[in-house]
Amino acid sequence: MSSRVIAIDGPAGSGKSTVARALAERLGWAFLDTGAMYRAVTWAALDRSLDVADAPAVARLADTLVITTRPLVTVDGRDVTDEIRTDQVNVAVSVVAANPDVRASMVARQRQWAADEEVGTVVEGRDITTVVFPAATLKVFLTASAEERARRRGDESASSVARRDEADTTREASPLRQADDALVVDTTGREVPDVVEEIMGCLASRHLS
Ligand code: CDP
């Protein structure tokens, strides 16, 4: 059982998943991609032809789903690793993620998973530093220029990325915002190992590693 958590937030394409995964590997900690959970709920709602704007119905469904994120993203045992990255999910996930009851269900699982880890967990998302783990060992906010973020998204169009960012920062339930005490790292033009080193350096300087 461990409550050691490095919490990482940031907008789409800021490098969260790549940096968090590399950091977890470097530390020998677990890695949790919380965005995959909201995508998994969205996929399940679309699969059942639910109206994603029907908040009570989607929340009821979310409560029943067995979701894993590692090594594969699965919903009730079905591998949806690729299916959660489609345009359909990109469009609908913002609505599902704005549903406070869905969030409550996901946040409870995230806290439990981190508590169950032996060593520690690197967790990335939109509300991890502000809502899910406000007392994290270290909080990091990643940014990057709009051009670079759009480039990194590859398959997803720049307009879709911009629309998700707008929805994530302006929603009422747990909007994306920078925690006051977060280490802010601009990843524009930087390699992943370089960003990981900066975070490791911060951990060391605070005597946390
Ligand atoms: O694809 P990208 O890495 O930008 O996003 P993601 O981490 O896969 O998350 C997909 C969507 O889930 C985001 O646009 C948010 O709407 C939502 N999300 C959230 O609300 N809270 C989190 N902790 C993680 C993701």
Cα 86 to chain centroid distance, Å, stands at 17
Joined tokens for residue 109: 């699982």
Residue 2: pLDDT band with limits 50, 70, 90:
low
Q: Which of 17, 34, 38, 170 to mutate to test the pocket of ligand 1 (most atoms within 8 A of CB)?
A: 38
pLDDT digits (tens, 9 = 90+) for 119-148: 999 999 999 999 999 999 999 999 999 889
Q: Whose CA is nearest to atom 9 of ligand 1?
A: 35
The average pLDDT across 18-43 equals 98
What is the average pLDDT score of the chain?
96
Inform me whether the pLDDT recorded for 113 exceeds 80.
yes
User: What is the predicted pLDDT for the residue at 21?
Assistant: 98
* Cis previous bond, 11, omega within 30: no
Element (H, E) at 11: none
Half-sphere exposure of 23 (CA within 13 A, CB side): 33
pLDDT at 155: 83
Look at ligand 1, atom 1, and give the residue with the nearest C-alpha. Answer: 12
CB atoms within 10 A of CB 110: 22
